[in-house]
Each structure stands twice: as structure tokens, then as C-alpha cells.
Amino acid sequence: MTVLKVKEFFDRYWKHKHLRRFDSYYNFLSLINENIFEIISQGKHKKILLIGMGNTPDNSFFRLLDGEKVCIDVSMDGLKGMKDFQKVQMDAQQIGFKEGSFDLVFLRTVMLHLDHKKTIPEIKKLLRKNGCFFWVEPMKNNLFLWIYRCVISPGRWTRTAYLALEDIEEYGKVFAHVWHREYFLLTVLLIPVYIILPWFRKCIHMIQRAEMHIIDRFCWLRKLCWISYGFGRS
């Protein structure tokens, strides 16, 4: 199978809706979405940079925030349909904005396509004093997702570098303050049920909450989770 470059991959991804058939997992993450968006909404952000967000459900939240919002994407197709945002086609590994331009930088499921060690310091430079970098990112060590990623996920067409817990802990060397959580271990097995049988979603959220309490109690499980979310403050 030919390995696509990141831009080629996302040009194809945004043009063909069937490649985004698993986007419905977004609401599977509603517990952490609510948490991270509550934290973001508490701040005052004059200028916000959204990296690779595309025309996704995140738009509905950021559209409600005050301030200037700039969205960049390596693919122009990823910027279509994004009303109320400034849109710039730009590679996240070659960001052309001046240092100290933004109060907030947000990305979701983007770091796996980037050079982690290069990108994080560059994001730090973009932030003004006391600015924040927020992420919601998949991690690499959940056993139950290996088959999906190798056989089903469209991401198999391009090189990916999923985050490990050790990568996230390195953020503390770049930012003055870092806060993060990692969740969804066994509950990733319920994603097909969540998508196919929506009437079970309330029950699944209850199971998720129970698992989250277990992970908080036994922190060594965090490295095996699916999703990391958090923020780094400059």
C-alpha cells in the first residue's frame, strides 16, 4: 500500500465523506469534551488558533466564543464550510504567524501527523504570556485499537506517530504549567455499540464514568488509555 504524504491524505480525507464514517465517535468523548470546553470557556481569549479542526462538531463550541478565531489546515478542503472563522491553508509544521500572536491554540487528533518534538516548542512560541495550548489526542498503547488502526482506520494510509504518555509528560519541559488526563481503556470496545445502538449511550456514559474513576485511582493505567486531553500554559 502506498504511504501518502499528510497533505495528500487530508485532501482525500475531506473530499470523500465515507472516509469520515467513524467521525460519529465524537460524542463518545462527550464527557471529556464537556470538561475541556468548560476550562476553555473560563478564559478570556482575544485571538484563538485552531489547528486542523476542519468542519467538525468543535466548530459549534468555538463559534460561541468571543475573540478572533483563525483556523489553519494543510488541505483547503478541510477549511470549506467553516463560517465565522478566518481560514488559512497552512502546514502545522511550518506555521507562519509571528511569535506571541495567540492567547489560545487548540488541536484535536492532529499531533499523530506531526513531529512532536518540533511542533510543541513552535506552539509555545505562538502563545502570548499566560496563553494556553489545549489538546485532545489519541494515544498509541491501547491494545484494542491496534487492529482498527492497522486494518480499518483511514489513517493507515499515511505515517502516524501516536502520542505516548511519556511524550505528554515532556510538555512540562516546554510549558510553565501542564495539566492532563488520560481516559478510555476497556470502554473503547463499546464504540461500535455506541455508534450502532444510540439508545445504549446513556448506559455507556455511566460505564465510562466508572472506568474513569478506576483510572484516576490506578494511575499506571493511563499509559494504556486511548485519549489524552489537557492544556499547557506559557
Q: How many CB atoms lie within 10 A of CB 186?
A: 15
pLDDT tens figures, 6-31: 888 888 888 877 777 667 778 899 99
Identify the sign of the CA torsion 101, 103, 107, 113. positive
Domains of the chain, CATH where assigned: 6-233 (3.40.50.150)
Angle between helices 30-41 and 201-217 (to 10 degrees): 70
pLDDT tens figures, 81-117: 788 899 999 988 888 899 999 999 999 999 999 888 8
Amino acid letter at 179? W
Helix (H, G, I), strand (E, B) or coil at 15: helix
131 neighbors 105 (Cβ within 8 angstroms):
yes
Contacts 24+ apart (CB under 8 A), 4-8: 4/157, 4/158, 5/158, 6/74, 6/91, 6/113, 6/158, 7/74, 7/75, 7/91, 8/158
What pLDDT is attached to residue 82? Answer: 82
No. of helices (H) and no. of strands (E), the chain? 8, 7
pTM: 0.93
pLDDT tens figures, 22-55: 677 788 999 999 999 999 999 889 999 999 988 8
Q: How many CB atoms lie within 10 A of CB 222?
A: 19
Q: How many CB atoms lie within 10 A of CB 106?
A: 27
Residue 2: band (very low, low, confident or very high) from pLDDT cuts 50, 70, 90: low
pLDDT tens figures, 113-171: 988 888 999 999 999 999 999 999 999 999 998 888 887 787 778 888 899 999 999 99
**Residues paired with residue 88 on neighbouring β-strands, in sequence order:** 72
Q: Is the pLDDT of residue 1 over 80?
A: no
